[in-house]
Amino acid sequence: MGFEEVRFEQDSEKAIHNKPLQKALVNVTNRFRTARNKASEDVPNWDNLRAAAREIKKETIENLDKYLLMLEERVKRAGGKVHWAKDAEEASQIIVNIAREGNVKSVVKSKSMATEEIELNNSFEDAGIKVIETDLGEYIIQLAGEHPSHIIAPAIHKTKEDISKLFSAKLGIPRYDKPEELTKVAREILRSEFLNADMGVSGANFAVAETGTIVVVENEGNARLTTTVPKIHVALVGIEKLIPRYEDLSLFLTVLARSATGQKSSTYVSFITGPKRSTDIGGPEEFHLVLLDNGRSKILASEETRESLYCIRCGACLNNCPVYRKVGGHSYGWVYSGPIGAIITPQLMGIDKAPELPFASSLCGACKDVCPVKIDFPKILLELRKNVVESKKGSTGIGERFGIRLWRFTVEHESIYKITNKLSYYFQLPWKGRNGKLNSLPYPFSRWTDQRDFPAVAKKTFRERWKNNKGETG
């Protein structure tokens, strides 16, 4: 599924009317939110950990060139190969070439947002190479031909029944209803794929510059299989995933699992440095690290939004976002959703492709409160809104611009402001309803009154009351 234009207003409306989706969203966000809250309360100095994690990310991003070179050198020393991809197309090309050179017929993949970002599966398919998603949630949406709807639980928008029907239709098996049965089917099918695959593609949660180690965090075991069994392992890693030192991992692993699912630790963490050693039994013979830019270096150049790159993809912002919990992941139009999607999609794809997204937030700040690296989402959203207005695209049509000019003129001139206040009592009369409120207003304010009343302007303004008896209610 390719990247399409973001159509937030349209897609969010569909999502709001989708009852099963609404139920699933409430479920998943409540569950993860409660679990995260408990897991963070169990750690006495949680806020200090977040501050420390932010500092390390800041240090990394502000010295990214040095750390990337260090990482490259260490990976090579360990026997791995390093490739640099400036954009999605190049990254896909590099990976397909590695497959061609290795005579690869089939590829197994573990969960990686970056590989969805570059639409890697399409490139494999175009090259006639079989590719299978092995993370259960990703396997489900691969069968369904959809994008993930949540960073941690990609198929959460699907019910048991959906999945049962899907498996039956696509895999030619009877209808199974229990999650255990469906999981067993997936395990068996995918197990033989793992054993026969020539190449495994993974992402990485972290890349340690000091040691040349990539770190993959998971619960299912498919990433371990992907990175152990096939003879070639390719890891696609966004350049922002770096951290400087081996011991920094203890901090990041502590905050990642707790923020994502509320677990003290995910089931498996693999720390991979290069291919197998000559004395190892089993393990990949080739290790390729593909470093992905695809717009990240541009974000880095913007001082106000640079911290967007600190993200460790835990999904806590999604689980705490009151907007996400109503509209779900697909409304954000791309692989990244929720608050993190709202800030990086416009920056990676270009503000002209997603001008709605910076405005698709009430700026409540719940995300900022839970982000393990303390990304200041509201600040970045405000900066992006400014950029949208300056680029004259999207929701800022001539009408809005005129409205702002009018507003500004009114509030810069007290006399106009007072008159407007006074006159609006009379102007509002046609729209005043029986309950004394404004039940309908002309466009664009009809967008308010379609479902809400608007308070009527009082006959006596506060200024008049102030003059009469110093503002006290009379």
Q: Least Å distance between CB 406 and another protein?
A: 11
The closest alpha carbon to 171, from 129, 136, 140, 212, belongs to 140
CB 214 within 8 A of CB 274: no
Please tell me the distance from the alpha carbon of residue 386 to that of residue 397, in angstroms, as a whole number: 14
Q: Is 195 in the site for another protein (CB under 8 A)?
A: yes
For tokens 């770096």, name the residue.
242
Give the footprint of another protein on residues 14-33 (CB under 8 A).
Answer: 16, 24, 27-28, 31
Least distance from another protein to the Cβ atom of residue 264, Å: 5
Part in contact with another protein (CB under 8 A); list of ranges 75-83, 115-123, 199-207, 342-350: 75-83
* Residues, the chain: 474
- Closer of 14 and 130 to another protein (Cβ): 14
411 binds another protein (CB under 8 A): yes
Determine the size of the site formed for another protein (CB under 8 A): 158
Q: Which is nearer to another protein, 118 or 249 (CB)?
A: 249
In angstroms, rounded to a whole number, what is the distance separating the alpha carbons of residues 393 and 8? 15
Binding mask 329-368 for another protein (x = CB under 8 A): -----------------------------xxxxxxxxx-x
| List 41, 447, 460, 468, residue binding another protein (CB under 8 A) | 447
Nearest distance in Å: CB 186, another protein: 7
Structure tokens at 34: 């409660």
Nearer to another protein, 5 or 65 (CB): 65
Number of neighbours of residue 433 by Cβ within 10 angstroms: 13
- Output 145 or 282, the one with its CB closest to another protein: 282
Q: At what angle do helices 179-196 and 136-144 cross, to 10 degrees?
A: 90
Site residues for another protein, window 49-68 (CB under 8 A)?
Answer: 59, 62-68
DSSP strand pairing (232-238 vs 199-202)? parallel
Binding mask 203-242 for another protein (x = CB under 8 A): ------xxxxx-----xxxx-xx-xxx---------x---
- Judged by CB, which is closer to another protein: 221, or 350? 221
**Segment contacting another protein by CB under 8 A, of 99-107, 113-121, 188-196, 198-206:** 188-196
Among 200, 203, 238, 275, binds another protein (CB under 8 A): 275
Nearest distance, CB of residue 201 and another protein, angstroms: 16
Q: How far is the CB of 1 from another protein (least distance, A)?
A: 19
Residue 258 sits in the site that holds another protein (CB under 8 A): no
Residue 207 in contact with residue 274, Cβ under 8 Å?
A: no
Residue 454 touches another protein, criterion: CB under 8 A? yes
Residues 91-150 close enough to bind another protein by CB under 8 A? 94, 134-137, 140
- Cβ proximity to another protein: between 4 and 280 the closer is 280
Interface pick for another protein out of 88, 114, 153, 343 (rule CB under 8 A): 153
Cβ-based nearer residue to another protein, 103 or 451: 451
Place of tokens 């503000």: 351
Quick one: angle between helices 64-77 and 46-62, nearest 10?
90
Smallest separation, CB 303 to another protein (Å):
8
The least CB distance from residue 395 to another protein, in Å, is: 6
* Binder among 100, 105, 160, 165 for another protein (CB under 8 A): 160
Q: Is 424 in the site for another protein (CB under 8 A)?
A: no
- Choose the binding region for another protein from 117-125, 198-206, 333-341, 466-474 (rule: CB under 8 A): 466-474
